[in-house]
Structure 1
Amino acid sequence: MIKKIVALFLLVVSTSVFADDINLWKKSTLNKIVQKGELVVALEPGYMPFEMKDKRGRIIGYDVDIAKAMAKAMGVKLKIEETAFDGIIAGLLTNKYDIIISGMTITQQRNLKINFSDPYIVVGQTILLNKQYQNEIKTSKDLDNEKYTITAVLGQTGEIAARKFFKNAKVVTFETESEAVSEVLSGRAAAFVNDQPYNTVFMDGKGKDKLVHMDKPLTYEPLAFAIRKGDPDFLNWLNNFLRQIKEDKVVNLHEKLYQKWFVDTKWLQRVQ
């Protein structure tokens, strides 16, 4: 009799757990994406080489290619939602899109509001310095002086790093990378703090012979996909997707995209 009661109890528990799993899947963003046949990705163009607009106004970049591969793997269409970075998390939380793929760094503060996938690339904050200061500023510590103005993008980790490492300098923020770095090109600011990939690419273009890249990273920053909390099925799929594109040596997608956007800079001709 006791055995029958225990068996019945286990059956009820397992049935309940199964039902909970099914309900969780029904509510999953991944399930909804598959059902509607469309993946909606939020990003802010202007962060080379991750996302930017070409001369025809089309959004291109590393993150765009990743999003295309993701939509293809899901068997759905891709829709890019152009969004200002300072409001991009709020848009995700109000269901305006399914996922953020916009060069977003994992931070503990952001992680309180949203969940992150495993990192798809790791970067750090570096400095672009106006060449007129190269004789007086030899290391990043030399910039921490009230006589210097440092620019960064509002709400991004470049601003966080600038305020953390340069408490004595004047930190001025802008809405976009191009606005912030233009202040340094014009001489109105001494330096610009931003992600290493962007700074490296910028030095191959407009920054050549005008700026100095202080390329020793100030920070360690893993970039990841951002999704809403409470969605283990979507998170599981994203992490498996990342593992596949990194480890599949036949397709070799991760390495191909890295070479395309970070090593070969022919794409600069399409945006400048």
Structure 2
Amino acid sequence: MPSFHVVAGMAALATGLSLGALAQSPAPASVLDTAQKAGVLRICTPGDYKPFSFQKPDASFEGIDVDLMASLTASLGVKPQWIKTSWSNLMPDLTAGKCDLSVGGISVTTERQKRAFFSTAYMVNGKTPIARCADVAKYQTVADIDKPGVKVIFNPGGSNERFARANFKQAQLTLHPENLTIFDEVLAGRADVFVTESAEAITQQKLKPGLCAINPDKPLQYGEMAYLLPRDDMAFKAYVDQWLHLAKASGEYQRVVDGWLK
């Protein structure tokens, strides 16, 4: 029977070999490296959220985030490859490796943070109601909206749905599967209120005469927008954050935003 010291020595040797093997295991490649090698940055977006990202009839995309991604990819010396997703599939597509980051007016939430990284927030953009202009005075607060008979509509899979379900217990809730036509439901009277981010509410009141954003400068709930990045890829996050910092410092970011919101 081997002595205690021999057994202990063998255990220590085995542990040392295991730690050595782990130390020699190559770290997963960063998107910062793989994108530059491939010459392409794969970008997921739902493409249904003006003014951040919207897919046009010719299948191309436009919006604040589309313009900003053109700047990011140019800084990397690569081309953007746009991948259409949905709000329900936004996180699964990113975590499955179908894209390198996700954009398109994504709200920062702790639930998303559990599964992915966020870039530094690039915009404060709280929850704002939009309703028919004749009804603006009726829907000033959450309490005003959360009443029996008020028809609240929301789109699935994102922070708008979470806000509606958390805050409206007496109002009549309706899930509308298609974000592009949800504003027409309010305009036509089939819904009374839709609560979304202030930037979208401001944009849609310009596009849909008869609809008004309600106090977009005083949102019902504080919110931030950021880009969704793969978890544990600190090198890529650091790069995106630094690019965003420089874009803001140079005035490039503000020029892009003003081009869509002013």
Which category describes the TM-score, using the shorter chain as reference length? 0.7 to 0.9
> For 2:49, what is the secondary structure of its paired residue?
coil
Q: Select 1:150's aligned residue among 126, 149, 152.
A: 152
The Cα of 1:212 is off from its aligned counterpart by 3.1
Unaligned runs of 5+ in 1: 1-15, 264-272
The offset of 1:194, in angstroms, is 0.8
Matches within 5 A, 1:235-254: 235-248=237-250, 252-254=251-253
State the shift of 1:23 in Å: 3.8
Partner of 1:114 in structure 2? 116
**SS of structure 2 residue aligned to 1:229:** coil
The residue that corresponds to 2:256 in the other structure is: 257
Give 1:11's aligned residue: none
Secondary structure at the aligned position of 2:88 is classed as helix
1:121 deviates by 1.3
SS at 1:86's partner residue?
coil
Distance apart, 1:175 and its partner CA? 2.8
User: Mean alpha-carbon deviation: is it higher for 126-135 or for 226-235?
Assistant: 126-135
Contact 2:126 2:198 in 1 (8 A): yes
Letter in 1 for 2:66: V
Deviation at 1:163, TM superposition (A): 1.9
SS at match of 2:89: helix
Provide the C-alpha distance between the structure 2 equivalents of 1:256 and 1:136, rounded to a whole number of angstroms. 35
What value does the CA root-mean-square deviation take over the aligned residues?
A: 2.2
**Residue aligning to 2:7:** none
Separation in structure 1 between the aligned mates of residue 258 and residue 25 of structure 2, nearest angstrom: 41
Query: Offset at 1:123?
Result: 0.3
CA contact (8 A) 2:204 2:211 kept: no
Structure 2 CA distance for partners of 1:73 and 1:148, relative to 1, 3 Å: same
| Residue 187 (structure 1) aligns with | 189
Instruction: Identify the residue that residue 212 of structure 2 maps to in structure 1.
Output: 212
Q: Distance in 1 between matches of 2:148 and 2:138?
A: 14
Q: Mark the runs of 5 or more structure 2 residues left unpaired by the alignment.
A: 1-18
Q: Which amino acid aligns with 1:254?
A: Y
Pairwise CA distance, 1:110: 0.7
What pairs up with 1:75-86 in 2 under 5 angstroms? 75-86=77-88
Aligned-partner Cα distance in 1 for 2:233–2:183: 38
1:1-272 counterparts in 2 under 5 A? 23-24=26-27, 27-54=29-56, 56-134=58-136, 136-206=138-208, 208=209, 210-215=210-215, 216-248=218-250, 252-263=251-262
Label 1:74 to 1:139 Cα distance change in 2 as closer, same or farther (>3 A). same
Change (3 A) 1:137 1:126: closer
Which stretch shows the higher mean deviation, 32-41 or 123-132?
123-132
Shift of 1:92: 0.7
Contact 1:151 1:181 in 2 (8 A): no
SS of alignment partner, residue 67 of structure 2: helix
Q: CA deviation at 1:155?
A: 1.5
Query: Structure 1 22/223 Cα, relative in aligned 2: closer, same or farther at 3 Å?
Result: farther
Computing the radius of gyration from Cα coordinates, the structure with the larger value is 2
Report how far residue 139 of structure 1 moved.
3.6
Q: Which moved more, 1:130-139 or 1:73-82?
A: 130-139
Secondary structure in structure 2 of the residue aligned to 1:256: helix
Secondary structure in 1 matching 2:37: helix
Tell me how far 1:21 sits from its aligned partner.
11
What code does the residue aligned with 2:120 have? D
AA of the residue aligned to 2:247: I
Distance 2:23 2:119 in 1: 23
> 1:9 maps to what in 2?
none
User: d(CA) in 2 for partners of 1:152 and 1:203?
Assistant: 17
